[in-house]
Amino acid sequence: MRKAALAERIPDAATRRGRLDALRRMVKEHRDEIARAIDADFGGRPAQETEILEVVPVLGAIRHARSHVARWMRDERRAPSLAFRGGRAWVRHEPLGVVGIVSPWNFPLYLCLGPLVDALAAGNRAMIKPSELTPRFSELLADLIDQAFAPDEVAVIKGDVDVARAFTALPFDHLVFTGSTTVGRHVMRAAAENLTPVTLELGGKSPAIVTEGYSLDDAAQAIAQGKFLNAGQICIAPDYALVPVGQEEALARAVLAAAEKSYPAYFAARDYASIITERHRTRLENAVAEAEQAGARVLRAQGAWGGRMPPTVVIGAPDQGVLMTEEIFGPVLPIVPYGDLDDALTFVNRRDRPLALYAFARDRTTQRRILDGAISGGVTLNGTIAHIAQENLPFGGVGASGMGAYHGRDGFRRLSHARSVFRPGPIDAFALLRPPFGRFAEFAIRTFGR
């Protein structure tokens, strides 16, 4: 790939669009196979959920990049510094070379092809390491990529954790990793050996703050949708909800009512995803049991869940328990009361900076107060999840929830080298400052050194 990247150092817009077209055809022609493979890996995941949360966003990202890549590639003119007026300055956004992409199991299509879209738009080659927890999808993806691309354009590397370690130790020109904060630290250490720059999309405990006077029913519907899609196995799912003191019970009941409405009786087994493995489910059940033994109230959605873990709400989870110290990554929502908004913001800020924040507030003053008062990777106001679907917004974390952002133009720039170029004008001021220094040097120092 390195040799191929050097041989075709700056692919033109037509070449980049051609590769994006190949990716689009691959996804569109095999979307049913992709959904079936993911369903099999999960032991039950609705095809509609795969379409809505993975296929449609990938196709949207491709369409957006294809439409704008020629404009993104244009040289960006900059004004020369005052002493060098008459010259010309500009920035070229050039391919980095070979990009490594390590993708997780929870959205196996979107979280490997999303970064790939940006890598291809930026003119790079790419190697993908999908998760070993989705073996059927990984096998299918490797076959489809082999059919759609030359081996020196895009390649898929399958394997277990040892293969992933070897993969992240390769001297990529950039490495994109999506996964847990714990593994992200190991990835960053491995990349540091080669001085490989990284984009880390991690996770954390993303809060939902419901403010005084906001409709609990409206907030509950949005929180339930963001929390129980993919059975809560979403890096930006609401991890816990903060609500004014005395409203915990009402919000809990409203969240469960919204879940029961979304997944009624027979449809729950069809429309509600499974937990990826028994190990993951056992961890979740143990975390809920720990909270219950510590005195928390546990409420579960009623209905026929086909053996799957039902939507669960926990009131009074201990502050030092698993539910309040670790990213939950499942259909369990702790609800925490707060006295006033400053208390809520303090509660959020005592923890690591989250990947997402959700604020439910009618007036802009309160919305601004929350935005100013708490840090997060991204925000959706009066809703959940939707900020990730905006191609014109960067997506990324901050602090323990990640570094770097991609999507659309921001992804193109993240995976490009911003190369500065300066061309002197007819009078080269810098050339006139060669020693031996004389009157012109003294004049320049007095003029520009103020």
The catalytic residue positions are 201, 235
Q: In angstroms, rounded to a whole number, what is the distance separating the alpha carbons of residues 105 and 235?
A: 11
**Helix 216-228 vs helix 248-262: crossing angle, to nearest 10:** 50
Specify the DSSP element, H or E, that contains 197: none
Q: Taking the CB of residue 34, how many other CB atoms lie within 10 A of it?
A: 23
Determine the 3-state secondary structure of 202 from DSSP: coil
Q: In angstroms, rounded to a whole number, what is the distance separating the alpha carbons of residues 146 and 26?
A: 11
Contact 176, 99 (CB under 8 A): yes
Q: In angstroms, rounded to a whole number, what is the distance separating the alpha carbons of residues 147 and 99?
A: 20
Q: In angstroms, rounded to a whole number, what is the distance separating the alpha carbons of residues 336 and 297?
A: 12
Give, in order, the Cα–Cα distances in Å from 243 to each of 68, 214, 305, 377.
Answer: 42, 10, 28, 21
Q: Where are the beta strands (DSSP E) in 384-433?
A: 395-396, 402-403, 405-406, 416-423
Q: Where are the beta strands (DSSP E) in 85-197?
A: 88-95, 98-102, 125-129, 154-156, 174-178
Tell me which residue of 391, 365, 393 sits closest to 379, measured CA to CA.
393
What six digits make up the tokens of 5? 């990247």
- In single-letter form, the type of residue at position 375 comes to I
Determine the 3-state secondary structure of 127 from DSSP: strand
Tell me the Ramachandran region of residue 343: left when phi exceeds 0, alpha when psi lies from -120 to 50, beta otherwise.
alpha
**Full DSSP string of 221-247:** HHHHHHHHGGGG--TTS--EEEEETT-
Q: In angstroms, rounded to a whole number, what is the distance separating the alpha carbons of residues 446 and 8?
A: 48
Tell me which residue of 123, 168, 125, 131 sits closest to 145, measured CA to CA.
125
Determine the 3-state secondary structure of 298 from DSSP: strand
Q: In angstroms, rounded to a whole number, what is the distance separating the alpha carbons of residues 330 and 238?
A: 10
Q: Taking the CB of residue 389, how many other CB atoms lie within 10 A of it?
A: 16
Contact 377, 384 (CB under 8 A): no
